Structure 1
Amino acid sequence: MKLTHLRKGLGLATALAALVTMSACGSSASDDNDQAAGDGEADQDRGRHQSVTPFVQVPLGVDRGLFKKHGLDVEVKIISEATTIPPAVLADQIDFAAWSYASFASLASKNLPLITVGPGDTAGTDLASDYTQLVTTKKSGIAATKDLAGKKIATNSLASLSEVQTRVALKNAGVDPDSVEIVPIPYANQGAALASGQVDAAQMAEPFLTKAKKDFDIVSLDALDVAIMPNLPASTWFTSKKKVEQDPDVVRKFQLGLRDSSEYAQSHPDEVRAFLPQFSVSTSRSSPT
């Protein structure tokens, strides 16, 4: 299955954490590779995804009816505590989730029954197209990443892609990563933490980045995905082994909806730009503080 990636070429900063709740509607129509649902009765599904704006293709696809045509009704909610997502999937509280490849890979040693079902997004190629950035406030006096030695930096979570990105950017700028204090602060709270002086800089991703720039005097220092690799494969969608075994039809429908949503976003960049502000607003309202 071909999945094109949303952010490439959009010139948008996109990324972060979100919840998706879904119901599979057996009576809905589907296209080419999908099969008609059984007897028309609704199968209840719950899904969530760690999302920042890279995952905007899913709420956009929901809004455009691209999941419903495959028989899935999807309600999108946003969370910022990404580490709560795998346990929720395993507990059968949600069905599908999106997480960074690095974070998902860190679960491999635990032999958890989680299975990837499709790619999420790729990173940008420069500061303008990277949705994850190292930021500070204008009043901090920090002009560049090289000025962060001995400072305190917020990341969304520790032992994750968020921390890896930050450490790589510091090293690339000639700063010893061990000379800084890295503290976990949810994306939704990072703007306030910067404004109050709780931290000197933050690893921040969209849509929280756009909102923070509007609400606080924040400036960008570095493109963090690009710091690792331009066009970095950043995320993957996954579910539980139990879901794949018990509801293969629902899993396939989700994959088709994800494919269509990604391709739609790629071919309609203007619609993505128009949709992003409302997604950012819903994110800020739904994220726990």
Structure 2
Amino acid sequence: MKNLRIAVITAALASIALSACSSDPADSPRDDGVIELDVSVLPIAHTAPIQIAISEGIFEKHGLEVTVTQATTGSAVVPSVMNESVDIAYGNLTSTLQARAQGLPIVSIATSDGAASVLESDTNWIMVRADSGIADVQDLAGKTIAVNALNGLVDLITRATIDELGGNSDDVELTEIPFPDMLGALEAGRVDAVSLTEPFRTIGLQNQENVALAPVGSIGGTRPGLIVDTYFTSEGFLSKNEEAVERFQTAIYEAQQLAIDDPAVAREAISSYLDIPEPILQAMNLPQWATDTMSDSDFQFMVDLMVTFGLMDEDSAPSYDDVVRE
């Protein structure tokens, strides 16, 4: 099974390598000194600092004009980053490591967010029905769990959480369902559990028939603050646009600090691109944004998980210095 998972990932990324192109001219400042950047994000709460940096003039202050496009997953935008139709993209560390392990020159240039330091504030949870008879992760044996993407981050941390808390992830079946459709599938009985993120956790808990079973962002509460999401680019773009990347790094960390210091600003930013009822917006857990580079220990923990669960061969696993250019 693990070899099959690696083979599927390898085939997908091989097609990306064929489309890679580094011949485009480097972005350069306009006559007014402003650098234009195309940034791809996922339409989730975690990318609120991008909107904050736009609306609060942080990008402008640092001499950037940022055009934002939306993607469905971090891995889906890797081809656009490789051919430089997108300059910088938001994605999880799993996608970055998978690409790098297959020889694609993808690098992390800024840490975005990670698991909460306090268990109750985690944004990613396994949820079940109250009458399901599932009281802990051991009871998930033989059950079907929805994740947003097979072989992706949520798949990985869901399996790891089950094992960490005493279950056996080999005894569960994962199926792919987009986050917005998960609660409907759970309540209709098409799956036994869902592994979802905010705002869907909070939406789900508005129904008393749903129960939050275990936090997965912090791997069941054993890795508080674990960094899992970054902004990435290609080595080709970085080498030609060091000033642009440095400006982006400074601006995004400033915006993430503002989101930490003033949650109201973060919630307002989220409401500008997600249609969330006000009570849900105010009640949902916010991501734990980073203001500094991810640690080597978090990086190695994710590498080890990916090798353990067959998402990457140990021999091809990249090093911290290969990937992190923050």
Please tell me the TM-score bracket, short chain as reference: 0.7 to 0.9
Tell me the residue number matched to 2:240. 246
Contact residue 54 and residue 131 of structure 1 kept, 8 A: no
Post-superposition Cα deviations, 1:49-96, rounded to whole Å, max 9, x if no partner, equal 346323322222222221122233335454433320212211323221
The 3 A distance-change label for structure 1 pair 48 and 216 is: farther
The 3 A distance-change label for structure 1 pair 170 and 49 is: same
Contact residue 80 and residue 188 of structure 1 kept, 8 A: no
| Distance of 2:209 and 2:89 partners within structure 1 | 33
| Distance of 1:49 and 1:70 partners within structure 2 | 20
Contact residue 35 and residue 64 of structure 2 kept, 8 A: no
Post-superposition Cα deviations, 1:81-137, rounded to whole Å, max 9, x if no partner, equal 332021221132322112222332222221112122111112113442111111123
The gaps in structure 1 that reach 5 residues or longer are 1-24, 27-36, 283-289
Q: Secondary structure at the match of 1:157?
A: coil
Identical aligned residues as a percent: 27
Give the superposed CA RMSD: 2.8
Equivalent in 160, 171, 183 of residue 168 of structure 1 = 160
Contact residue 170 and residue 177 of structure 1 kept, 8 A: yes
Equivalent in 208, 215, 224 of residue 223 of structure 1 = 215
Equivalent in 268, 271, 286 of residue 265 of structure 2 = 271
Tell me the residue number matched to 2:145. 153
**Greater Cα shift, 199-208 or 211-220:** 211-220
Contact residue 36 and residue 64 of structure 2 kept, 8 A: no
Normalising to structure 2: TM-score of the pair? 0.67
The 3 A distance-change label for structure 1 pair 217 and 182 is: same
| Distance of 2:129 and 2:258 partners within structure 1 | 36
| Distance of 1:57 and 1:215 partners within structure 2 | 30
Amino acid corresponding to residue 180 of structure 1 in structure 2: V
| Aligned residues between the structures | 248
Q: 2:54 matched to 1:62?
A: yes
The 3 A distance-change label for structure 1 pair 214 and 80 is: farther
Per the TM alignment, residue 275 of structure 1 is displaced from its structure 2 partner at its CA by: 4.1
Contact residue 50 and residue 85 of structure 1 kept, 8 A: no
Per the TM alignment, residue 212 of structure 1 is displaced from its structure 2 partner at its CA by: 4.5
Q: 2:130 matched to 1:120?
A: no
Contact residue 103 and residue 160 of structure 1 kept, 8 A: yes
Tell me the residue number matched to 1:132. 124
| Distance of 2:237 and 2:136 partners within structure 1 | 46
